């Protein structure tokens, strides 16, 4: 379980709500303040409305008028909404291929490096594919992570076709008996249709050879709030996303974006980044997350 002090600062908005409801009890103003707290935490209007509608029905059915009971009911509802999803990363395939997508600066390459370290430590060989051929620094950074984690690196020339680099990485992994390929991609601007089409091409090519694309993980900087949700919507149209990695949840992120992504797009948040350390990329835990918001 992740220490609660490392979870997002959304706890500030909820602590204010808790202080208010404790001093006054449950009334119409309580619901308004709870709505404000959820929206300020970046949960989004749609997600907030749906959550409160369900919560009001439960509170009415159970005749809840005590602040502690309401908070317990709220926490239970949030944990139920966020939990119960398959967070396993698929490893079926010879090799399995994990594609990492997202705009520049969200932490894709770092996420790949941390995951590669985790997989190698577990005894699994890994090939890293430097599919971001538009930035020489991206391949260099991925190479550093390969050296650090003990993974292999396959890269092409600067400006090479990203699809061909990833295809070569899959072929190399298959020939070498390596069961997992993690592929970096360029930080595509989600408003540029041609770049999104290229991402769709990468997805097709990565699965044409011996490999099987088992994961397409969208990496989002949690501190961007609802803009991250807009990115997710665009990427969903170009790639069959299997999960989301939320980075930088230890900083200025408010955390409610977790609820928005899973509720509005029905895409599970599989991993969260809670720091700069190599071990600070962890599997999302709904119960721990909800408790942290109210602690």
The radius of gyration of the chain from alpha carbons, rounded to an integer in Å, stands at: 21
Q: What is the pLDDT of residue 225?
A: 73
Q: What is the pLDDT of residue 16?
A: 67
Q: What is the pLDDT of residue 239?
A: 73
When comparing pLDDT for 162 and 191, which is higher? 162
Q: What is the mean pLDDT of residues 51-60?
A: 92
Percent of the chain scored above 90 by pLDDT?
A: 39
Q: What angle do CA 271, 208, 166 make, to 5 degrees?
A: 55
Beta-bridge partner residues of 184: 130
- pLDDT (tens digit per residue) in 237-272: 777 889 999 888 765 556 778 888 888 888 899 998
Q: What is the pLDDT of residue 6?
A: 55
Mapped onto helix, strand or coil, the DSSP state of residue 68 is helix
Beta-bridge partner residues of 269: 244
When comparing pLDDT for 261 and 294, which is higher? 261
Q: What is the pLDDT of residue 231?
A: 77
Listed ranges 209-223, 235-249, 275-289; the one with the highest mean pLDDT: 209-223
**pTM, two decimal places:** 0.88
Burial 93-105 (b: 16+ CB within 10 A, else e): bebbbbbbbbbee
Q: What is the pLDDT of residue 271?
A: 94
Percent of the chain scored above 70 by pLDDT?
A: 87
If you average pLDDT over every residue of the chain, what do you get? 85
pLDDT band at 61 (very low <50, low <70, confident <90, very high): very high
Listed ranges 42-51, 79-88, 175-184, 200-209; the one with the highest mean pLDDT: 175-184
Q: What is the pLDDT of residue 100?
A: 95
pLDDT band at 48 (very low <50, low <70, confident <90, very high): very high
Q: Which of 91, 92, 94 is nearest to 174 (CA)?
A: 94
pLDDT at 235 > cutoff 90: no
Q: What is the mean pLDDT of residues 259-287?
A: 86
Q: Cα–chain-centroid distance for residue 84?
A: 16
- pLDDT (tens digit per residue) in 67-83: 788 888 988 999 998 89
Q: What is the pLDDT of residue 3?
A: 46
Q: What is the pLDDT of residue 68?
A: 82
pLDDT at 20 > cutoff 80: no
Task: Phi first, then psi: give them for residue 73, nearest 5 degrees.
Answer: -65, -40
Q: What is the mean pLDDT of residues 173-187?
A: 94
pLDDT at 227 > cutoff 90: no
When comparing pLDDT for 113 and 225, which is higher? 113
């Amino acid at each position: 379980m992740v220490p609660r002090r490392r979870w997002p600062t959304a706890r500030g908005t909820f602590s204010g709500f808790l202080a208010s409801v404790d001093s006054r009890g449950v009334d119409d103003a309580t619901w308004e303040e709870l709505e404000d707290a959820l929206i300020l935490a970046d949960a989004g209007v749609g997600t907030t409305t749906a959550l409160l509608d369900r919560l009001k029905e439960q509170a009415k059915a159970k005749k809840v008028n005590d602040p502690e009971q309401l908070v317990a009911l709220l926490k239970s509802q949030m944990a139920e909404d966020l939990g119960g999803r398959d967070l396993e990363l698929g490893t079926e395939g010879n090799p399995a291929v994990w594609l990492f997508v997202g705009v520049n600066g969200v932490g894709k390459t770092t996420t790949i490096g941390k995951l590669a370290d985790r997989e190698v430590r577990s005894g699994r060989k890994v090939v890293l594919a430097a599919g971001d051929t538009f930035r020489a620094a991206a391949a260099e950074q991925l190479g550093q992570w390969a050296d650090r984690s003990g993974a292999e690196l396959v890269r092409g020339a600067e400006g090479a076709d990203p699809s061909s680099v990833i295809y070569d990485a899959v072929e190399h992994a298959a020939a070498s008996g390596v069961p997992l390929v993690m592929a970096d991609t360029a930080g595509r601007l989600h408003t540029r249709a041609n770049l999104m089409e290229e991402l769709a091409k990468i997805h097709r090519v990565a699965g044409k050879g011996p490999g099987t694309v088992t994961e397409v993980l969208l990496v989002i900087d949690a501190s961007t709030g609802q803009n991250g949700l807009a990115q997710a919507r665009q990427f969903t149209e170009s790639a069959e996303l299997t999960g989301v990695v939320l980075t930088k949840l230890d900083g200025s992120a408010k955390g409610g974006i977790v609820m928005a992504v899973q509720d509005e797009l029905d895409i599970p948040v599989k991993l969260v980044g809670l720091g700069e350390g190599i071990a600070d990329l962890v599997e999302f835990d709904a119960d721990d997350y909800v408790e942290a918001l109210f602690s």
